[in-house]
């Protein structure tokens, strides 16, 4: 298992798999198959993928601890950046196809409509994380500070779920499902943090997340 995980081929395959939803959207766009309301369809599809990638990204740390597969960390940055990638597509769909660059309308929306305010906040919070995702930035910031900064992803995940919840007209099943998953993943972190605090100082060093191993390549 660990051999499969560390193979560079696995990484290439996972990378391509992450691009499949994007490829399908492009394919559908060229075949005029984005439903009667392409702007909304793109917003909804990319929005779904942002939340899915958020859940995947947030699952990496719990999974590698629970399954004792430290190699999983090799994929965390990639999933995080794909979250941001689909975030950019989502944001672009809104600016371009939905609002057609009507900046005053958009600005009004951002501070008048709570669901847009919170979605926008979630997206903006991802920008510094994407920028500082390189090994160089981990070094420059230092592991501790880098890790503090990258906990902003928790806020993005919460913002994303609330954004979806506030958007739907009546059936809240889907946002609640995402909320449940994000809730479990954040609760696991809270749990391990509380357990770590109870242990005598120093004893918990090995159980702490290790951001400096995020990427070595």
Partner 1 sequence: MAIQEKPDLTYADVTPKALYMGRRNFLMGLLATSGAVAGWKRLPSWLAGPATGTVPVPLSVVGKSPFSTTETPTPANEVENYNNFYEFGDDKGDPARNSKNFVTMPWTVSVEGEVAKPRKFTMDEIVKLAPLEERIYRHRCVETWSIVVPWIGYSLSNLIKLVEPTPKAKYVAFESYYEPKQMPLAASGIQYPYLEGLRLDEAMNPLALLCVGMYGETLPNQDGAPVRMVIPWKYGFKSAKSLVKIRFVKSQPPTSWNMFAGGTEYGFYANVNPTVDHPRWSQAKEHRLGGGLFARPIPTLMFNGYGDQVASMYAGMDLRKNF
Q: Which residues bind partner 1 (CB under 8 A)?
A: 29, 32, 34-40, 42, 97-100, 102, 105, 108-109, 113-115, 166-173
Closest CB to partner 1 among residues 65, 113:
113
Q: How far apart are CA 153 and CA 79, in angstroms?
A: 12
Alpha helices in 31-113 (DSSP H): 38-66, 76-92, 103-112
Residue 105 in 3-state DSSP? helix
Count Cβ atoms below 10 Å from residue 32 Cβ, excluding itself: 7
What does the angle CA 21 – CA 25 – CA 117 come to, to the nearest 5 degrees? 85
Closest CB to partner 1 among residues 39, 124:
39
Q: Report, in Å, the least distance between residue 141 CB and partner 1.
A: 38
Q: Report, in Å, the least distance between residue 27 CB and partner 1.
A: 14
Q: How far apart are CA 59 and CA 185, in angstroms?
A: 7
162 in Cβ contact with 118 (< 8 Å): yes
Closest CB to partner 1 among residues 4, 171:
171
Q: How far apart are CA 7 and CA 47, in angstroms?
A: 31
Q: Report, in Å, the least distance between residue 113 CB and partner 1.
A: 6
Q: Report, in Å, the least distance between residue 97 CB and partner 1.
A: 6
Residue 22 DSSP label: H
Tokens of 157: 């995940």
The candidate with the shortest Cα–Cα distance to 4, out of 78, 72, 82, 57, is 72
Closest CB to partner 1 among residues 73, 161:
161
Residue 140, CA distances (Å) to 7, 87, 119, 144, 149 in order: 28, 26, 30, 11, 13
Q: Report, in Å, the least distance between residue 161 CB and partner 1.
A: 16
Q: Report, in Å, the least distance between residue 143 CB and partner 1.
A: 41
Q: How far apart are CA 208 and CA 193, in angstroms?
A: 8
């Amino acid at each position: 298992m660990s051999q499969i995980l560390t193979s560079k081929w696995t990484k290439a395959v996972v990378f391509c798999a992450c691009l499949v939803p994007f490829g399908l959207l492009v394919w559908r766009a060229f075949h005029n198959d984005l439903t009667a309301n392409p702007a909304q369809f793109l917003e909804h599809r990319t929005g779904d993928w942002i939340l899915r990638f958020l859940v995947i990204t947030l699952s990496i740390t719990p999974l590698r601890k629970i399954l004792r597969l430290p190699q999983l960390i090799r994929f965390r940055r990639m999933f995080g950046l794909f979250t941001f990638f689909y975030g950019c597509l989502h944001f672009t769909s809104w600016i371009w196809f939905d609002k057609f660059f009507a900046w005053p309308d958009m600005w009004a929306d951002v501070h008048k409509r709570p669901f847009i305010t919170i979605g926008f906040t979630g997206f903006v919070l991802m920008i510094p994380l994407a920028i500082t995702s390189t090994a160089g930035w981990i070094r420059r910031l230092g592991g501790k500070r880098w890790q503090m900064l990258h906990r902003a992803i928790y806020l993005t995940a919460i913002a994303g779920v609330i954004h979806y919840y506030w958007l739907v007209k009546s059936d809240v099943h889907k946002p609640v499902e995402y909320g449940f998953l994000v809730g479990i993943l954040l609760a696991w972190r809270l749990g391990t943090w509380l357990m770590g605090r109870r242990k005598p100082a120093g004893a918990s060093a090995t159980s702490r997340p290790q951001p400096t191993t995020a990427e070595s390549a």
